[in-house]
Structure 1
Amino acid sequence: MAKLIFVNLPVADLEASIAFYEAAGAVKNPQFSDETAACMVFSDTIHVMVLTHAKFSHFTTRPIADAHKTAQMMLCISADSRDAVDAQVDTAAAAGGQADPNPQQDYGFMYSRSVADPDGHIWEVMFMDLAAASEHYAA
C-alpha cells in the first residue's frame, strides 16, 4: 500500500476553506467531513484536513499560530506544466487566497509560485522538468 499524507490545518472559516481548496483542485471527501472538519483530496495519496480551531485543538495542546504573521511551514504541490502552476495559483487566489505571498521562482528547470489560503497557510505550486533538473545538478 502506498503511504498517504494527511496535512492537518486549523482554519477560522471552514466553508471558505472548503471553497478555496476546491478551487485549488481538491475534492471534498464527505466520508471524512462534518461541521468541524473537511477532508480535501488532491490525489490518492495527498489529503488536506481543514479543521476548525476547536477541532484542531483536540489534537494538540500547543497554541494555534496565526499563519498571517508567522511562517511555521511551507507546503508544496506539483503541477504538470508552467501554465498549470499559473492557472492553479490564479484560480485559488480568486477563491479567497492571496497570490504570490512569496516571490515567484524561475530557475529554468523549475518554476514555482505561491498562494496563501484564507488562513495564511502558504502553498507553493511547482513545475519541474526532471530531465533538465538532472542535467543542472549533474553539472
Structure 2
Amino acid sequence: MAFQSKQIFVNLPVKDLNKSVEFFTALGFEFNPQFTDENATCMIIGDGIYAMLLVESFFKTFTQKEIANTATTTEVILALSAESRDQVDEFVQKALDNGGKPYNDKIDHGFMYTWSFQDVDGHLWEIMHMDESAVHQG
C-alpha cells in the first residue's frame, strides 16, 4: 500500500510573524490558536492543509541548512486551487493590495489559468483554476 497522508504542514520561515499574520488575515486565512505563540502560528489553508509560519530564528532550530534568501532564490512555489478564474484574480489582487508583490503575470493555458504573487517574506504563491471539462476534452 502506498503512503498517503491526511494532512500537510508546510513550514515557512518569516521575518516578522505579526506582519505575516496581518497579511494572510487580510487574504481571509484563519489561524489555529493552539499552535500559535511568539515563535510560530498555524495558518489553516484547507481541510488538512496548513502552513506553519515560523520566525526565522525558530525555523533554524529544525534545520542545519541555511534559510533560502527569498530575494534571490526560490525554495518552493505553493500552488493553491481556486474555484474560478475570477476567484484567482480576486485573491491575487487582494494579496497585491495588502503588501504582496507581483511574481508572474497571468498565464492562460485554456484548461488552466494561473496568477502568482510573493508574500511579505518573498515566498511564492501561485493561485490556479483548472477547468476539468477542458482537460478531459484534450
Instruction: Give the counterpart of 2:128 among 104, 118, 126.
Output: 126
Match of 1:107 in 2: 109
Residue pairs, 1:1-139, within 5 angstroms: 3-99=6-102, 101-136=103-138
Does the residue aligned with 1:58 lie in a helix, a strand or coil?
helix
Cα distance in structure 1, aligned partners of 2:96 and 2:34:
27
Question: Which residue identity lines up with residue 111 of structure 1 in the other structure?
Answer: Y
Question: Which residue identity lines up with residue 84 of structure 1 in the other structure?
Answer: Q
Q: Give the number of equivalent residue pairs.
A: 135
Contact 1:25 1:42 in 2 (8 A): no
Gaps of at least 5 residues in structure 1 are: none
Question: Which residue identity lines up with residue 106 of structure 1 in the other structure?
Answer: D
Contact 1:8 1:49 in 2 (8 A): yes
What is the TM-score normalised by the length of structure 1? 0.91
Cα deviations across residues 36-77 of structure 1 (Å, max 9, x unaligned)? 111110112110111001110111011111112111221100
Contact 1:85 1:125 in 2 (8 A): yes
Question: Which residue identity lines up with residue 113 of structure 1 in the other structure?
Answer: W
RMSD: 1.4
Cα distance in structure 2, aligned partners of 1:23 and 1:90:
11
Does the residue aligned with 2:126 lie in a helix, a strand or coil?
strand
